[in-house]
Copies of this chain bind each other. A is one copy, B any other.
Amino acid sequence: MIKDSQIDGMFTHINQQGRAKMVDVSEKKKTVREAIACGSIYMKKSTLEKIDKGEIIKGDVLSVAQVGGIMGAKKTADIIPMCHQIMMTGCDITFQLDYEKSKVDIIVTTKTIGETGIEMEALTAVSIAALTIYDMCKALDKSMVISDIRLLRKIGGKSGEINNF
């Protein structure tokens, strides 16, 4: 098994035959790693209002999205083909209703102690939470769009801290 730890500026997931591999991380150091990712789902103002009222009175759409997102984060290695299995030590999701731009913002923090970064788990949680909101509102609103899913911050590992704020 060829070590990939020094490869830089090359695709790290492609083996010598040009096909995908799951890169060897067994010589990487275990460190505390944290990632923050975000994304948004744009919708009609009336849909946003209904989620908002629902949250106050009955609290549901975002609660389900919260659970869906966290459970989705735990499935990351199962759904992203070349992702390593990671034991996430923490995961938290925050939602912000933005009436001006008529969207819900989703912010996810994930944490682990391991050999590889935890950003795919954060990005997956954002995506699944957004898809869950979509699913729960789709009878009302056929025009929703999920956008701006990206990494905000990554701490730990060889590359140190990355900030995309």
Contact = CB atoms under 8 A, between A and B. Distances in A.
Interface of A: 1, 7-26, 32, 34, 39, 50, 54, 57-64, 66-68, 70-75, 77-95, 109, 111-113, 115, 119-120, 123-124, 127-128, 130-132, 134-140, 142-151, 154, 162, 164
Nearest to A85: B87
A26 B154 CA distance: 16
B149 A20 contact: no
A45 B37 CA distance: 22
**Chain A binding surface, main DSSP class:** mixed
A91 B25 CA distance: 10
A67 B70 contact: no
A20 B70 CA distance: 9
Q: How many copies does the complex hold?
A: 6
30 contacts: A1-B92, A1-B111, A11-B136, A13-B64, A14-B54, A18-B57, A18-B59, A19-B62, A20-B66, A21-B70, A22-B70, A25-B89, A26-B111, A39-B146, A59-B60, A60-B63, A63-B63, A63-B64, A64-B81, A79-B128, A80-B128, A84-B87, A87-B87, A120-B131, A124-B131, A143-B150, A143-B164, A146-B148, A146-B149, A147-B147
A124 B134 CA distance: 11
